[in-house]
Each structure stands twice: as C-alpha cells, then as structure tokens.
C-alpha cells in the first residue's frame, strides 16, 4: 500500500518565528522523495506536521486524503525516523523493538533481526548509553522494518559512519523495490543520497523553491567538459555553478538550458555535455543572493 502526501498552504509558527510559510506540495506517493533545504529552512517542521507530531498553525496536511493529526489509525501508517529514538534513556533497544512490534501493522520481525545484525544494533544497552552511531542504527532499523506506507527519514542516519550509511542506502533501495511505499528523505548529504531520489523538493525559508523529477531538475543546468580553453569560451557570460580543472581539462557547470544550435556548437568544439549535480543546483537555488 502506498499513500499520497499533500500539504496545502501550510504555515507553522513558533512564537515570532515563521518556520513554514504557506507551503503547498503534492507528493503522489509510491516514490522516494528527497527533501532538501538549508539549516533552519523548515524541513523538520513540515515532516513533523506530516507525521502528526506537530499541529499546523494554519493550512492542512493530508496523508492518503485524510488528516493525520489525532488520527491513530493513520499515524500507525506513518513512520517518522530521526537520529534520536523516541524512548526513555533507561529503556533498552529490546524494549523499543517490543513496542514497534505492537504498534506497527506491517512490522517484519525477520527483516528486523537481519538489520539488527547488519547494523550491529546493541539490544541490551540502555538507550542513553548508546553511541550516536548506534542510536542512528537503531532508528533506521525501526524505520525500515516498520514497512510503513509513509516512511520519513529526517537526517536519521547522520550518526552512522560511511560504510554503515552505504549499507543503509543499499537496504533502503532493495526493500523499497520489494515493498514499494512512499519514502521521504531529508538530508544535507546530497551527493551521497541523491541517486536514490525519484523526485526532489527544495524549500528555503519555509517556502517552496523547486519540486520536480530528479532528472528534470538536473537538466536545469549543464556540465560542460573538455579542453580548458574551449570550455572557457563556450561558458563565457553564463551563470557558473561549479568549476573544476584537471590538467588541461576543465569541467564547468552552468545554469540554464542550451538550444539545439548551442549543443551542436559544443559538440563541434569537442565538448561533452552532461546533467548538473544536485548539490550544485541546490546551492545555486538557495544561495544568499536569491533569498
């Protein structure tokens, strides 16, 4: 089962702070979505409202067409995973898994055991005594094994080291293919996780900046690679998002699309054209001067 997620004119305020500012967003569901935004842009606030942890100041959140807030049957279908575990410091992971088994209708115990082994989740230690990496490992294990129709990872794997994070991406993709569901990943590790995203949402200061298929988003710019002089001549006067040199070869990423004539000219000059990296695009779209 997959569920859609819709946010309509959502505003979330904390006193004077406007964390989310009239955000409207429609995720059809059954895909892996990336939610990107600079620090304090409102990602956790939006995701908390979708998971019914926080009430909207105004506007609406709909999951599968229904309001999740104070809707226990629906919230059991939504799993919000952070890098900390929602349990008392004195509890141990074994107890946390016992609760998850009771609360999560799609819980897969066999898969949970496999993940506990793969991520070395310590079952007997108190939550308060777990290392940051172990807390993250416990969180992602809970998130994956819950198989919730809407699963949200909010920077939940940041505490894990690189091999463990790549193991997590591998598990996530394989389990998603076997059990399609709506997965939202909020991250700052854009280059590392970006290849998983089917659609990307970028927010800034609580407002929507972009929402598109990942490929369409990456086609908003062009990476021009080839002999340094030819690249410099071709990209002169354009908005440059990134620039790298290696010996006589240069790769310059520019913002904006090329006409068929320009593409032909680039090929004629021996230049390779490729899509822009998500991170370069994100930095450009959320840059200070655009705010």
Ligand X SMILES: Nc1ncnc2c1ncn2[C@@H]1O[C@H](COP(=O)(O)OP(=O)(O)OP(=O)(O)O)[C@@H](O)[C@H]1O
Interacting residues with ligand X (CB under 6 A): 14, 17, 19, 37, 39-45
The structure tokens listed for 262 are: 């320009």
The structure tokens listed for 214 are: 């990942």
Q: Smallest gap, in angstroms, from Cβ of residue 12 to ligand X?
A: 8
> In the complex with ligand X, which residue's Cβ is closer, 42 or 226?
42
Separation CA 36–CA 46 (nearest Å)? 12
The answer to whether 63 and 150 are in contact (CB under 8 A) is: yes
The answer to whether 158 and 139 are in contact (CB under 8 A) is: no
Q: Smallest gap, in angstroms, from Cβ of residue 59 to ligand X?
A: 15
Separation CA 12–CA 58 (nearest Å)? 7
> In the complex with ligand X, which residue's Cβ is closer, 41 or 225?
41
Contacts of 11 (CB under 8 A, 6+ apart): 18, 20, 21, 22, 23, 56, 57, 58, 59, 206
Contacts of 171 (CB under 8 A, 6+ apart): 115, 118, 140, 144
Q: Smallest gap, in angstroms, from Cβ of residue 154 to ligand X?
A: 7
Contacts of 39 (CB under 8 A, 6+ apart): none
> In the complex with ligand X, which residue's Cβ is closer, 54 or 165?
54
Separation CA 140–CA 143 (nearest Å)? 5
> In the complex with ligand X, which residue's Cβ is closer, 44 or 141?
44
Q: Smallest gap, in angstroms, from Cβ of residue 48 to ligand X?
A: 7
Q: Smallest gap, in angstroms, from Cβ of residue 44 to ligand X?
A: 3
How does strand 240-246 pair with strand 221-227?
unpaired
> In the complex with ligand X, which residue's Cβ is closer, 112 or 140?
140
> In the complex with ligand X, which residue's Cβ is closer, 40 or 128?
40
> In the complex with ligand X, which residue's Cβ is closer, 41 or 139?
41
Q: Smallest gap, in angstroms, from Cβ of residue 256 to ligand X?
A: 27
Q: Smallest gap, in angstroms, from Cβ of residue 279 to ligand X?
A: 15
The structure tokens listed for 279 are: 């991170």
The structure tokens listed for 248 are: 């006589």
């Amino acid at each position: 089962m997959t569920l859609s997620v819709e946010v309509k004119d959502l505003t979330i305020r904390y006193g004077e702070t406007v964390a989310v500012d009239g955000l409207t967003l429609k995720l059809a569901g059954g895909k892996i979505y990336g939610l990107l935004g600079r620090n304090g842009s409102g990602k956790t606030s939006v995701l908390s409202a979708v998971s019914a942890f926080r009430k909207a100041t105004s506007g609406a959140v709909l999951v599968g067409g229904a309001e999740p807030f104070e809707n226990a049957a629906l919230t059991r279908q939504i799993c919000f995973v952070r890098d900390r575990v929602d349990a008392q410091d004195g509890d141990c992971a074994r107890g946390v898994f016992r609760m998850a088994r009771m609360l999560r209708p799609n819980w897969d115990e066999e898969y949970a055991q496999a993940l506990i082994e793969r991520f070395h989740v310590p079952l007997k230690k108190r939550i308060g005594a777990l290392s940051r990496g172990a807390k993250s490992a416990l969180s992602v294990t809970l998130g994956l094994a819950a198989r919730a129709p809407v699963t949200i990872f909010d920077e939940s794997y940041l505490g894990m080291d690189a091999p463990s994070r790549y193991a997590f991406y591998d598990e996530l993709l394989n389990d998603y293919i076997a059990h399609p569901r709506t997965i939202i990943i909020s991250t700052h590790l854009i280059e590392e996780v970006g290849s998983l995203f089917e659609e990307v949402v970028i927010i800034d200061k609580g407002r929507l900046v972009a929402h598109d298929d990942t490929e369409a988003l990456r086609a908003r710019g062009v990476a021009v690679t080839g002999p340094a002089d030819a690249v410099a001549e071709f990209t002169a006067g354009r908005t440059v998002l990134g620039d790298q040199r290696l010996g006589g070869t240069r790769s310059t990423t520019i913002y904006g699309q090329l006409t068929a004539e320009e593409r032909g000219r680039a090929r004629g000059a021996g230049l390779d054209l490729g899509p822009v990296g998500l991170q370069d695009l994100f930095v450009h779209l959320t840059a200070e001067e655009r705010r």
